Structure 1
Amino acid sequence: MKKPTTTAPQILNAALHLADTCGWERLHLFDVAAHLGIGLDAIAQHYREKDELVEAWFDRADQALLLRAKADDLMTLSPAKRLEELLIAWLDSLSSHRAVSGQMLLYKLEPGHVHLQVLGLLRISRTVQWWREAARRETLHLGRIAEETLLTGAYLRSVVHWLRHPEEDPVEFRAFLRRQLRCGPLCLLLRY
């Protein structure tokens, strides 16, 4: 009887499960393969390298953000509140593996691995772009550039805060996020 094919989500889930115990740095693809009872070739069919697992994990978070954007209530909210709700959906999707998510980000920004650093910056840019699109931001030209720059700062400060304060009450975190979205010129762009 032919063994069922292992899917990309199953591989990612197994990697996250193992990384919860050993940490992202100590996770090896051969450990994931052994855990699933498959060969490395089965993993290579879906992920060419360990970093692609990181991308897949953050792609899931982007999908959660985009799913939240489909909710009927979102467009009734102010622009800043839409951004808040969307980033909360993104973070909530990562919360089951919060510590590993932080380790993944550090891995992508690791000194000496310029290729990972560039991909890390592209990941941040991609997520901020989806965040803006999902919030239906329509700013153009210089306004769009300024908004993207300011939103990237708010995103980074919020994600780092979320990672560093895992025990923080969600209401307190939302207050922190609102402060990030209200700071200086961003408040004017969002018409808070």
Structure 2
Amino acid sequence: MEVYVSGNQILFESDKVKSLGFTDYNEVLWNKIKEMKWNIRFSRSKNKKKQKPYIYSSNKGNPVDLHRFVMEHWYGESEMKKAKERDYVVDHLSNESLNCKISNLCFIPRTLNTSKGNDFDIRRKEVEKMFALNIFKDFRTQLFQITIVFNDPASFIDLENNKRLPIAKFFLLYDNKFRRVLT
């Protein structure tokens, strides 16, 4: 696997997948990543068509997935241990396993991760023709942002002034409570 920096991203390129993997560039993170050997593994799934690629390293005999490696870099080893003790996992908010940007990762309970994958992630794909919905987390503020971009004409109804206003996109901010954001 080729690993390199382009602009403000660290990119991971492999002939095993058509897409590039990526995370945010940070000099300290880059210095750690470039010293390791990275590869692609595919998730275990009963339905072989739905296997997802994950970037991982088995450097020094300790296998680690890139998304967990990135979270540990930004949050620290102690937060990773606390999350594991509470049965939390690192979730890819966009459901794109190769997007390991810190804004796309968050700790959520394992059970919520499973239900998100079995419901929300599927329904989000089904409505893409009408609107695109994405969730991001701002590492600095710890706020979640829901972004909705409408592909079909949409309106905001101003009940106070009895007006219908056309809208193309909508942004919502939420505190660091993922269950509420997902609901």
Q: TM-score range by the shorter chain?
A: under 0.3
Task: Compare the two structures and name the one with the higher helix fraction.
Answer: 1
Task: Compare the two structures and name the one with the higher strand fraction.
Answer: 2
More contact order relative to length (CA 8 Å, sep ≥ 6) = 1
TM-score with structure 2 setting the length? 0.25
